[in-house]
Amino acid sequence: MGHAVNPEREHHLLRKRLDRMVTGAPDSPQIIQILSLLFSPEDARLARYLPARPAPLEDIVRRIGLPADELDARLTDMAHRGLVLDFTVGEKRYFMLPPVVTGLFEFVFMRQRDNLPQQELARLFDAYMYQDDRYARSLFAGQTQIGRALVHEEALADYDHNEVLDWERATQVIERAAVIGVSLCACRHTKLHQNKACDAPLETCFSFNQTADALTRNGIARKIDAAGALEILSQSKQAGLAQIGDNVQRDMIYMCNCCGCCCTFFNAMRLFDMPKAVMSSNWVMQVDTKRCRGCNKCIAACPVSAIALTDNKETTDGTQYAVCDAELCLGCGVCHCVCRFDAIRMARREKRVVTPETTFDRVALMALERGKLVDLIFDEPANLGYRAVGRLLSLLEKTPPAKALLAIKPLRSAFLNAFVRKAKNMSPVF
């Protein structure tokens, strides 16, 4: 790590490193410019040797070859700048390279930064995400997604408390978190730099537990208690925002309060016709046609344009009522909150949505679906021996027989569970 670096080469190599993560980072002039603004050439060289899962400092020392004190200081500085995630478990320090989303993009815009050209970065990120569909297709490939919708609990008054699982309730996620952080909404903050932001509240992005500890320690988030978080949640619901959280059942990392106009996820869903980019909740909008007055409030409120009006065939006066496309519906419940006629309720979906248990389960499943399981297992960029074995596994993973076997749900589930059981023992963080 002590020799001279080639600036242009280092940023291109870092982009390739990020592209090996499950959410990817397709090449473009914009992503190279973004990395050049965020990482010095020396930072980029160090970052591309970091793992995609939290690893203890001593393991990274062996991988990189720098003295522990020097490496700790450099990585800590990069964590303060939002380029690296750092965790402390007991007396051990862990570090990892964050993906582009959710990671570098959010860490740039979850706070005001005087030491970064945020306006220029907002323009570059916007172009990278929306100028064409390559990044969206990489980020939202496969069936398993990084985010899921949480239903507005106020819309579930018809259901017994025991019928709604705790991980389906935003309030329960907040109340059970050991540490809570709140930050600026990265999406609305980005639009603010482009004079395109709506008037929804800005400080609405939650982080939880070890991630909240890391972000608050590095000034990316502000630590709050559960009461403060519940108040922000209530205000967000009143503003018509939908709750999108980490697609896991346990130890959720983040929860955003999202508007339909600024949200990165929602914009990609509409712009590139990707209705499954966010996992829906286990609920779906249901309309009482006798109560509905066709006022359009729910249509305007729906963040993914899943609602339309249709003629009411039971009347002859031309009245209309709302209908919902169940395939598009996120089950967020925002429509229920704006209905003045008590015509909307949330009903259980006929087919339950599968939600991974933990972050590692989610990442492993995404890697399996996207043909990146080898990159996840052999997360050793400098190890040629691992590369050779990884090459063989990669060829196996892409063969039609292997794909056919993994398409069979019981076999796929058994394979994934066996892999996850072994891999979880490797890290106390994920």
Residue ranges covered by each domain of the chain: 7-137, 141-271, 283-348, 359-424
pLDDT at 111 over 60: yes
Contacts of 61 (CB under 8 A, 6+ apart): 67, 68, 71
CB atoms within 10 A of CB 51: 17
Q: Does domain 283-348 have CATH number 3.30.70.3270?
A: yes
Residues 12-16, mean pLDDT to the nearest whole number: 97
Contact (CB, 8 A) for 69 and 61: no
Contact (CB, 8 A) for 39 and 47: yes
In the structure, how many helices (H) and strands (E) does the chain have? 20, 13
Residues 218-241, mean pLDDT to the nearest whole number: 97
How do strand 55-56 and strand 180-184 relate by DSSP bridges? unpaired
Angle of the 264-271 helix axis to the 118-130 helix axis, nearest 10:
30
Q: With bands split at pLDDT 50, 70 and 90, how would you rate the model's confidence at 271?
A: very high
What's the CA gap between 58 and 93, in Å, rounded?
9
Residues 367-396, mean pLDDT to the nearest whole number: 64
Side chain identity at residue 404, one-letter code: A
Residues 140-162, mean pLDDT to the nearest whole number: 87
Contact (CB, 8 A) for 221 and 199: no
Contact (CB, 8 A) for 125 and 104: no
pLDDT at 340 over 50: yes
Q: With bands split at pLDDT 50, 70 and 90, how would you rate the model's confidence at 155?
A: confident
DSSP state of 257: E
pLDDT at 373 over 70: yes
For residues 378 and 126, which has the higher predicted lDDT (pLDDT)?
Answer: 126
How do strand 180-184 and strand 242-246 relate by DSSP bridges? unpaired
For residues 417 and 274, which has the higher predicted lDDT (pLDDT)?
Answer: 274
Side chain identity at residue 152, one-letter code: H
Domains 7-137 and 283-348 share a fold: no
Share of the chain above pLDDT 70, in %: 84
For the record, the structure tokens of 161 come out as 């408390």
pLDDT computed for residue 397 by the predictor: 57
pLDDT computed for residue 32 by the predictor: 98
pLDDT, tens digit (0-9, with 9 covering 90-100), for 64-107: 889 999 999 999 999 999 999 999 888 899 999 999 999 999 99
CA dihedral 243, 246, 248, 253 (to 10 degrees): -120
Give 380: exposed, middle or buried? Use CB within 10 Å, 0-12, 13-18, 19+: middle
What's the CA gap between 213 and 221, in Å, rounded?
9
pLDDT computed for residue 322 by the predictor: 93
For residues 419 and 190, which has the higher predicted lDDT (pLDDT)?
Answer: 190
pLDDT computed for residue 317 by the predictor: 60
What is the overall mean pLDDT for the chain?
88
pLDDT at 392 over 90: no
pLDDT computed for residue 384 by the predictor: 45
Residues 325-344, mean pLDDT to the nearest whole number: 94
CB atoms within 10 A of CB 4: 6
Q: Quick one: CATH architecture of 7-137?
A: Orthogonal Bundle (1.10)
pTM score over 0.85: yes
What's the CA gap between 152 and 242, in Å, rounded?
8
Q: Give the closest residue to 375 by CA, choosing from 363, 358, 362, 357.
A: 363
